Structures are given as C-alpha cells and as structure tokens.
C-alpha cells in the first residue's frame, strides 16, 4: 500500500468485479433501448407507408435492408459513451470493455471554478465532445459524484442536443455531499465523505494510477 494511504476502501479486484457487473447491467439496458428504438422506427415507417404494398401494385416487393446484408435505414445510431476527463479514464477504459455492444466513445474535459475549496458552481468546458448526439443513447461515465454540479451541468448541456436518452454511471457516489439534486443511474459504490484517491482520482495530480481506491492520510493534504 502507498505510504500516503490511510486505508484501502476498495481493492482492484472489488473494483473489477463491480465494473463487470455494471457493464452487464448497462449493456442490457442499452440493448433494450435499442430494441425499443427499432420498434418505434418501424412503427413510424408503417404509419408513413402507402396503403398498398408494392406487390399488390404489381411491383416487386423490396427486401429489407437487413435481408440484403445492409444496415436498416432506421437502425438506431450506436450508443455514445462519454468519458469525463481526467478522473474517469481508468474506470471508463474498463467499463466499455465490459459492455459487449457496438458503441462509440467520446471525451469531454470539464472543470469547476470556485474559490478555495468552495465551488462557485460554474462548470467550464475545456474540450467538448465532437460526435452528434441527436437521437442516440448517451452513457456518461464519471469517477465520482460529489456536489453533483458537474453532472447536473453536463446532463443539461447534452440534453440540449436532443439525445434519445442520457444515463449516468459513476464509480463512486458521495450522496452526503450533494449541493444540487442529482441521482446517477448506476453507482459502483456509495462512500462516506472521506478523501478518496486512486483508480483515476487524484490529489494535486497524484495517485490517479493507484489500482485500488484508498483514503488519503489527512497529513498529506494538511488537515
């Protein structure tokens, strides 16, 4: 164990097992959402189709795009997994490999402005995502939800681009620290209000590469 760590909260093995379980559940939900999107699209096509089929009109019935080996025109776009830099990187990398579905990845850099330890609540976008989110299932991947400001902002930011859905998964949740109402859809572990580092989480840029999640010794951050 690193000498600056007071105690380990979650081992690498516990994190890996929880990440696999989250990936499985998220994959089931995304698959269900895609199936529903397909049903909605087909219902829309039927509603828009002429009353008589091509065959009834003496024409040749068209094969479905799938039967022709192509992608159906109304196939819903791939889900988009969004990694919030920098802390989410290790969790994101493991989680997307635990989701056995085609998906696209994107990366966004966000930071909060505040004086000292008190955040002003203003969130700044350093690097935005580039993909089109309209009509897509979006999965935001976060390392920790604290005040909730970052995710409340990001969900609003993405919702304005008309996604099909937005879900949030966080490795850690500190519900006792919430300053704005926010509930993640999937939580790896809920934790008390302790200073956690490791598995992407830092103090002054350090400890992100610890394979476990630990509580930092107060002496390190000057308490």
What letters, b where the CB count within 10 A reaches 16 and e where it falls short, cover 171-184? bbbbbeebeeebeb
Exactly one of 95, 99, 145, 169 binds ligand PRP (CB under 6 A); that residue is 145
Exactly one of 147, 171, 173, 188 binds ligand PRP (CB under 6 A); that residue is 147
Shortest reach from residue 129's CB to ligand PRP, in Å: 15
Nearer to ligand PRP among residue 84 and residue 96 (C-beta): 84
Exactly one of 84, 95, 172, 196 binds ligand PRP (CB under 6 A); that residue is 84
Nearer to ligand PRP among residue 37 and residue 96 (C-beta): 96
Structure tokens at 98: 């635990």
33: part of which helix (H) or strand (E)?
Answer: helix 12-48
Using an 8 Å Cβ cutoff, are 212 and 11 in contact? yes
Positions marked active-site: 146
Is residue 149 a contact residue for ligand PRP (CB under 6 A)? yes
Using CB under 6 A, which residues numbered 166 to 205 contact ligand PRP? 202
Shortest reach from residue 145's CB to ligand PRP, in Å: 5
* Sheet with 5-10: strands ordered across: 5-10, 213-216, 196-197
């Amino acid at each position: 164990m690193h000498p600056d760590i007071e105690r380990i909260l979650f081992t690498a093995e516990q994190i890996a097992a929880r990440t696999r379980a989250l990936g499985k559940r998220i994959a089931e939900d995304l698959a269900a959402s895609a199936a529903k999107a397909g049903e909605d699209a087909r219902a829309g096509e039927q509603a828009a189709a002429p009353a008589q089929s091509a065959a009834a009109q003496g024409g040749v019935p068209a094969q479905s795009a799938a039967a022709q080996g192509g992608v159906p025109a109304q196939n819903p776009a791939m889900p988009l997994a969004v990694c919030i830099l920098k802390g989410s990187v290790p969790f994101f990398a493991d989680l997307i490999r635990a989701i056995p579905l085609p998906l696209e990845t994107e990366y966004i850099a966000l930071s909060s402005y505040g004086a000292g330890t008190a955040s002003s609540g203003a969130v700044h976008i350093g690097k935005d995502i580039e993909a089109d989110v309209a009509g897509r299932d979006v999965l935001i991947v976060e390392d920790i939800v604290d005040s909730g400001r970052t995710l409340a902002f990001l969900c609003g930011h993405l919702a304005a681009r008309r996604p099909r859905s937005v879900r949030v998964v966080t490795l850690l949740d500190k519900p006792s620290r919430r300053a704005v109402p926010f509930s993640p859809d999937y939580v790896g572990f809920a934790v008390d209000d302790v200073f956690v580092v490791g598995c992407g989480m830092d103090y002054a840029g350090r400890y992100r590469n610890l394979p476990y999640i630990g509580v930092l010794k107060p002496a390190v951050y000057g308490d």
